[in-house]
Amino acid sequence: MIATFILVLASLAPLLMAAGYAHRSHLNFVQVLLWMPAAMITLFQWNTRLHGRLNGPSTGAILIANHRSSVDGFFIQMACNKPVGSLVAREYIEIPVLRHLFRFLGMIPVGRQGVDTQATKRAIREAASGRLVLMFPEGRLNTTSDLMQSCRPGAVLVAIRAGVPIVPFYVQDITFTNTILKPFISRARVQLYVGEPIDVVKLSQGKTDKQTLGEILQLCLQEIAKLAGEVDWEPQLAGRNWNH
């Protein structure tokens, strides 16, 4: 009888832990159930170490980071106490197996070519409503030896129009390829560094012209470089087809 009770209690332990974490965090019960295996993979498969956490802001925010692998969002979610939405290439969201999961998690589909106005407007709405939205200024995986590739200021525009800050992150020691599945079978020792919120609304003084967006983007990217310990790194802006 006692053995049965212990077995039942052990089987219920994950659900009880999930309920307790959901009560303490901004994640709902189902989100916690999805978060728990992701957390296990992040901690044990990739030996992730967090340097800082994002416990605020109470409003929404745009999160930016360098982009080394298809699982960068896993590490950033680990450092946040609220659900993190992300812009995901539209072709991935349309995969039947993943479509409903991505939509439940609040992922925002975005086209790879040019400026996706629909995705930009949705990101603004999500951030303005209090959500955390992850955007990668590079817009693609960086498989080079450079800290970051050339970047576009879409995240700055979204943050200004949503009236929220930008929070920089730096993901270190990612050695994955640009395939989606390989990270899940690869070992790594990942370091995640969390920066301070940047008040881009104040910096912009209400302006969203090309020069203002570019200058603020460079400042934000330099904060990522500081987290990486590369204070002399000079960010590069992408081509001309990014202006609003």
The answer to whether 178 touches 188, Cβ cutoff 8 Å, is no
- In angstroms, rounded to a whole number, what is the distance separating the alpha carbons of residues 67 and 113? 18
- Total domains in the fold of the chain: 1
Residues of the chain with pLDDT under 50: 4-24, 242-244
Task: Kindly give the pairing relationship between strand 191-194 and strand 166-172.
Answer: antiparallel
Please indicate, yes or no, if residue 153 is contained in any of the structural domains. Answer: yes
pLDDT of residue 176: 57
pTM of this prediction? 0.81
pLDDT of residue 213: 96
How far lies 69's CA from each of 39, 85, 161, 171, 184, in Å?
17, 17, 28, 10, 11
pLDDT of residue 21: 42
Please indicate, yes or no, if residue 137 is contained in any of the structural domains. Answer: yes
Please indicate, yes or no, if residue 154 is contained in any of the structural domains. Answer: yes
pLDDT of residue 16: 38
37: CB partners within 8 A, 6+ apart: none
Q: Which residues of 24-54 are buried (b: 16+ CB within 10 A; e: fewer)?
A: eeebeeebbbebeeebeebeebbebebeeeb
Please indicate, yes or no, if residue 237 is contained in any of the structural domains. Answer: no
> What's the domain range around 139?
46-227
